[in-house]
Structure 1
Amino acid sequence: MTEWTTIREEHKIFEDEAVLALDKPVGVAVMGERHDTDLVSMARDAGEELFPAHRIDKVTSGVVLFAKQLRHHGDLTRQFNRRTVDKTYLALTRTHGIPAAATIDLPLSVGRKNRVRIAANRADIVTVTADAGPADAGPADAAGASTAAAAPGPEAAPWLWTVPAAKTFPHVRTYPSVTHLARLWEGTEHTLVAAHPVSGRRHQIRVHLAWVGHPIEGDPLFERAPTTRTFLHAWRLAFDAGWDGGRRMVVEAVPGPDFWRSLDGEDAAVATASLTGFNAPATF
């Protein structure tokens, strides 16, 4: 049995005549890996050609959608490009103070060493709430992330983290980026959020959360020599099946035990239970 056969059998969450959806394990790239194997190469070496409709980071687990035939690939990629695909991720932070509902509307740019960052200074990020109006995001913390969560109380809803247009860097190419958040559970040390990246830029959720003061635990972009996996998981994906009358399809990858390993048994049970019955809010 090849490595691809094992992954295909153990991580398949949906398959029909047109698509294959896998729950990608952490540490495996979708495609284009230079010095290691990736799913597309594994499949090809095993005699199966697959066409990825999108990508998720190597450090991220969860749903990845492949077209099994090239004639279905174009329609799927257009759906991602037109942002008609609904994507919901789960992120675990070792922080408190994330609002019950929030939106991060911060443009991205590419800085030194090809690192994705916000296209503005941290000090220029502001928070806005429906009941409290604008508030200063506050200074950066020791890790370089904004401590915006110290502004109005976390139950003030909805929150918006943004930056004035006049403060956006004029000398670099910028990419408008929006992420909606819903807090699912908060424990004594951790918070679990559902994140919906509207624009779907590279590293968007990871950078957005870090720059508003809530980096994802284990993220090597913002944590030196992490000792755990990155706790970001592609949970749900909804798309239109053009080959099946255009019906809306939803595929879901239930987080495995490794996603909860930072939590003790009781917290893990409560956090897991918070996923039951969750439906994306209207802002999603």
Structure 2
Amino acid sequence: MAVEFDYQARTEGLTIEELLREKWQLGKKMVHELRMASAVTGTDGEPIGWTQGLKAGDVLRLRIAEPASSYAPDHGSLTIAYQDEHCLVVHKPAGMAVHPNEPGGTGTLMNQVMAESLAAGRSYAEHVHRLDQGTSGLVLIARHPVAKAVFDRMLEKKEIRRVYFAETDKRFQKPRGRIDAPIGRDRHHATRRRVSPSGQPAVTHYEVLREENGRSLVRLELGTGRTHQIRVHMAFTGHPIVGDALYGGRRADGGGYRLHAGQMAFVHPFTGEELVIDDPQEPVWLEEWTRGD
């Protein structure tokens, strides 16, 4: 299968070579494959020289191979916060894994995304990032290989802003701040992480939104994307997430822990639109804070 999309140049003098290699930062192999397949043309299908400067407003047509993703389709109640021909942003419920851990596995978010994609006549869908199984919220999905490569690069360069909300124990001494503490594996526990001088750099920004009854509602933004980062940093500062038993949080009514990826923002790499996407499906505990219950 193949997927087609149009791209309107927004920079005067940019060449196709510069667009693919420098602006989108596609890998050498992918750029070579696109060139060999004559995958970039004008809207009339006529070839365009790869070193020819484009005019702002010129429209290119890309036709690229669409490999089949390996996830088995699994129909469910998928909540879509945003979608276009390049990507999906979908809600992941707490307790659901983003993807299977073994071939043929089902019951995950990507199985549901695959069912939606196949129903729309698409064979490709790949997640750009992950959330811990117990965390609810937004996950970005690429709808074709070029989008996957571009969004991967944007994530690496911190051009995709991800905002979380958490309920934590105790009052904070400062209403906002920056947690800069490296994170590594805990050699005493197979899945737990810990702050460690030899760990990878990790930065989390926080802002206390409300405090009451010895607990706090905190807005958090990732400066890096380490495994369990927010959970580790909150526990390290003495404010473990409510319900997060792995990191010392007290039990939450209803089970689970209270961390939600509620917002995502980025400049769309193919349209130039500035997107701010909110999760339309907030967890009950967050709604209670919003209502002031």
Confirm or deny a common fold (TM above 0.5): yes
Give the 3-state SS of the residue equivalent to 2:284 in structure 1.
Answer: helix
Q: Does 1:40 align with 2:110?
A: yes
Q: Does 1:198 align with 2:257?
A: no
C-alpha distance 29-257 of structure 1, shift in aligned 2 (>3 A): closer
The Cα shift of 1:205 comes to: 0.5
The Cα shift of 1:71 comes to: 1.8
Give the 3-state SS of the residue equivalent to 1:233 in structure 2.
Answer: strand
The Cα shift of 1:260 comes to: 3.6
CA distance in 2, matches of 1:115, 1:193: 22
Give the 3-state SS of the residue equivalent to 2:256 in structure 1.
Answer: coil
C-alpha distance 247-32 of structure 1, shift in aligned 2 (>3 A): same
C-alpha distance 236-45 of structure 1, shift in aligned 2 (>3 A): closer
CA distance in 2, matches of 1:87, 1:63: 9
Cα RMSD for the two superposed structures? 2.5
* Matched length: 211
Match of 2:86 in 1: 18
Structure 1 runs (4+) deviating above 6 angstroms are none
Q: Which runs of 5 or more structure 2 residues have no equivalent in the other structure?
A: 1-71
Q: Which of 201, 210, 223 is residue 176 of structure 1 equivalent to?
A: 201
Larger displacement relative to structure 2 (48-57 or 102-111):
48-57
Letter in 1 for 2:282: G
Q: Does 1:87 align with 2:165?
A: no
CA contact (8 A) 1:89 1:233 kept: yes
The Cα shift of 1:242 comes to: 1.6
Matches within 5 A, 1:1-284: 4-8=74-78, 11-34=79-102, 37-44=107-114, 47=118, 49-112=124-187, 113-119=190-196, 168=197, 172=198, 174-223=199-248, 226=251, 228-244=255-271, 246-254=272-280, 256-260=282-286, 269-270=291-292
Give the 3-state SS of the residue equivalent to 1:200 in structure 2.
Answer: coil
Higher relative contact order (CA 8 A, sep 6+): 1
The Cα shift of 1:230 comes to: 1.2
C-alpha distance 269-37 of structure 1, shift in aligned 2 (>3 A): same
The Cα shift of 1:84 comes to: 1.4
The Cα shift of 1:259 comes to: 2.7
The Cα shift of 1:85 comes to: 1.2
Task: Give CA deviations for 1:4-48 in whole Å, capped at 9, x if unaligned.
Answer: 54322xx11111111111111111111143476322234446735
CA contact (8 A) 2:175 2:207 kept: yes
Give the 3-state SS of the residue equivalent to 2:213 in structure 1.
Answer: coil
Letter in 2 for 1:250: V
> Which structure is larger by alpha-carbon Rg, 1 or 2?
2
The Cα shift of 1:216 comes to: 0.4
CA distance in 1, matches of 2:200, 2:226: 8
The Cα shift of 1:226 comes to: 4.4
Give the 3-state SS of the residue equivalent to 2:152 in structure 1.
Answer: helix
The Cα shift of 1:183 comes to: 0.6
Match of 1:128 in 2: none
CA distance in 2, matches of 1:42, 1:225: 32
Letter in 2 for 1:80: L
CA contact (8 A) 1:177 1:198 kept: yes
